[in-house]
Amino acid sequence: MAIWANYQRIFYQSGILDFRSFPTLPVIYYMQLAAYSFYALIGNLGFNDPLLFFHTTYVVEGVFLKLPMIIADVGVFFLLARSTKCLAAALYFLNPFMIYLSAAWGTYDSVMIIFLVAGFLALERNNEKLATVAFSISGLVKLFGFLPLVLIVGESLMRRRIKESFLQLGIAGSIASVTLAPIVMQGGQQNFISGFILRFLGVSGAQTRNYSIFSALLGTSFGGAPPYIWIAVIIVALTFLVTIRRTSSLFVPVLLSSTLGAIFLNIFSQSEPQWLSWPIPLALMYASITKRVGLASYAYAFGAIATFLTMTLTQGTGYVLFGLPLAFFLGPLEGFAGAIAVYAVTTLCLLLLLTGYVLSKPVKFKLEVLALIVVVYTQAYFWLAIVGIQNT
């Protein structure tokens, strides 16, 4: 939030637009500039915004900074509800993880998700051109949005529809060129390549070094390309090739492949906690299409548990409530040695269970699943935090 506020304040106080070092792709910058303009206006009219505890943004200022994300969540709800997926819409809109990411933490994954959902709804209606536009914009918010676009273009090439594939690439290229032009004009190409493309793909040369699940289990900081990311790529490709041969429609093969892609990118790449939100709307849409009520229920439980894990093991309740990243208010549940490894083990269990619900025949959601996750969490806590087997 401090980063968002800093860039908005710089622009509305001095008129400086710094796309070269902005920490995300520029679509979020554009949206926040529009939303923040109303806050800047009431500030010029004399509004005195209070500061709450030790947060880096003022109370009302924080609302305007998060407004694009909150509106995106509302938009996803209406998109899903309009397509008669009332259960999916409700389970997304009331999902604790989506509320936490948009309204509390202030991450922008929901902006990517609204265009992702819009693309799939267009694809369901066989409108590939509109789907291409939506997926292109989604990918320019977070690069995962390009995954279904790659599958669509790949299908066109497989069926030798060369003209159609060039049109799809032309639409995506045009949107990307307009969006990324400010970065190129300010000389930020290298930051874009190393900060976004290489980082997402998990190859060497990326600016940041995050934990992967496997490095967290080993208790080491991850400093290179994930050795297993190719597994996620192969799983997505094989799933798409197998399912596309069984139907003439693109919707289900692309949706299923993208859902598995969201799951396995979390497992096999340098993922971040907010990435856990990616499979939730996709799983809900797939559950609605295939009548998997158990999958829909688990997707909601998945988000609720992910909220607990993220708040306690990666963020800290002090950050959300008081703006203090090093303060913890839930005692032994957060801030303990080995917390990242416990997070990795429990998250891996959640993702594997989600994979099972997606790929298996429709089954009912049972409370025993929650008991299993609790057992995994407590066992990981005992062995990794109390016993500390990583250090022996």
- pLDDT tens-place string over residues 258-270: 999 999 999 988 7
Q: Give me the pLDDT at residue 14, please.
A: 86
Q: What is the pLDDT of residue 196?
A: 66
Per-residue pLDDT at 31: 92
Smallest CA-to-CA distance from 210 within 144, 143, 267, 270 is with 270
Q: What is the pLDDT of residues 204-253, one digit of tens each?
A: 555 555 667 777 766 655 555 555 788 899 999 999 999 998 887 899 99
Cα–Cα dist 110/332, whole Å: 31
Q: How far is CA 146 from CA 134, 168, 256, 316, in A?
A: 10, 12, 15, 32
- Please give the average per-residue pLDDT across 87-96, as a whole number: 94
Kindly report the number of other CB atoms within 10 A of residue 19's CB atom. 20
* Residue 362 DSSP one-character state: P
**Model confidence, pTM:** 0.92
Structure confidence at residue 346 (pLDDT):
96
pLDDT (average), residues 92-106: 94
- Could you give the C-alpha distances from 369 to 23, 96, 204, 383, in angstroms and in order? 38, 18, 38, 21
Which ranges constitute the DSSP H helices of 159-218?
162-185, 189-192, 198-201, 213-218
Element (H, E) at 353: helix 339-359
The total of other beta-carbon atoms located within 10 Å of residue 276's CB is 26
Mean local confidence (pLDDT), 83-95: 87
- Tokens of residue 330, six digits: 């839930």
CA distances from 7 to 13, 17, 318 (A): 10, 8, 24
- Mean pLDDT, rounded, of the chain: 87
| 2-9 long-range Cβ contacts below 8 angstroms, 24+ apart | 2/56, 2/57, 4/32, 4/57, 4/65, 4/106, 5/56, 5/57, 5/61, 5/62, 5/65, 7/32, 8/32, 8/33, 8/36, 8/40, 8/65
Give the highest mean pLDDT range of 100-104, 131-135, 331-335. 131-135
The predicted-structure confidence for 293-336, as pLDDT tens digits, reads as follows: 999 999 999 999 999 999 998 888 887 777 777 667 777 888 78
- Per-domain boundaries in the chain: 2-391
Which ranges of 270-338 does DSSP label H, i.e. alpha helix?
279-290, 293-309, 317-322
> Among residues 29, 31, 39, which one has the least CA distance to residue 59?
39
Q: Assign 198 a pLDDT band (cuts: 50, 70, 90).
A: low
